[in-house]
Amino acid sequence: MTRTKFTKAISRLLSISFLLISVTVFSQNANTVSISGEVTTALNLTTQDLAAYKQISHKVKDRDGKEHEFKGVALIEVFEKAGITTGGKLRGENLAKYVLIKAADGYEVIYSLPEIDPEFTDQVIMLATEKDGQPLPNGEGPFRIITPNDKKQARWIREVRSIKIVFAKD
């Protein structure tokens, strides 16, 4: 084998190896949601992990007016597990924290912590894992935020990959 053919073969092998590693990392990330930032305990949760939390459901209408039942976990439950400031401790400078949620395609939405905390609101924001009794379909899951009282569904973020708690800065 000539040096040129050997170099091309090695280059192809490295390209294939990189592709396989990238696919493996993407697959692992696609099946977890990370909770990070201003937390006591960073979390990487799977749908199986969330099944151990108290389950809730919301019946809501989609953009076309069709009713669906979503099942999952109240986002506040996940926050309490991660040690995020909630409840009676959510005062003073902690009121300047916000929640940045990112989707697989780069879409981002924010919530203030009081929008999620039951001591400030009656709305229960959900980290959904099921729709109409089935796991969320590709393009929608495995995790989705459902905010039932929002008039627009723009913050009903699909394919959630990360949730980060951040201090607002000037």
Give pLDDT tens digits for 88-113. Answer: 899 999 999 999 999 999 999 999 99
What kind of fold does domain 32-167 have according to CATH?
Sulfite Oxidase; Chain A, domain 2 (3.90.420)
Confidence of residue 139 (pLDDT cuts 50, 70, 90): very high
Please determine, for residue 115, whether its predicted confidence score (pLDDT) is greater than 90: yes
Please determine, for residue 27, whether its predicted confidence score (pLDDT) is greater than 70: no
Domain boundaries, the chain: 1-30, 32-167
Please determine, for residue 26, whether its predicted confidence score (pLDDT) is greater than 90: no
- pTM value is 0.81
How far apart, in whole angstroms, are the C-alpha atoms of residue 68 and residue 72? 13
What pLDDT, on a 0 to 100 scale, did the predictor assign at position 40?
Answer: 95
Instruction: Give the residue-averaged pLDDT of 109-122.
Output: 95
Instruction: Give the residue-averaged pLDDT of 118-130.
Output: 96
117 contacts: CB under 8 Å, gap ≥ 6: 76, 86, 87, 90
Instruction: Give the residue-averaged pLDDT of 14-21.
Output: 49
Of 100, 51, 101, 107, the residue nearest 77 (C-alpha): 51
Please determine, for residue 24, whether its predicted confidence score (pLDDT) is greater than 90: no
The whole-chain average pLDDT of the chain stands at 87
How far apart, in whole angstroms, are the C-alpha atoms of residue 93 and residue 12? 54
Q: Determine if residue 110 is left, alpha or beta; phi over 0 gives left, psi from -120 to 50 gives alpha, anything else beta.
A: beta
Name the token pair of 166: 């951040």
Residue type, 44: N
97 contacts: CB under 8 Å, gap ≥ 6: 38, 85, 112, 113, 165, 166, 167, 168
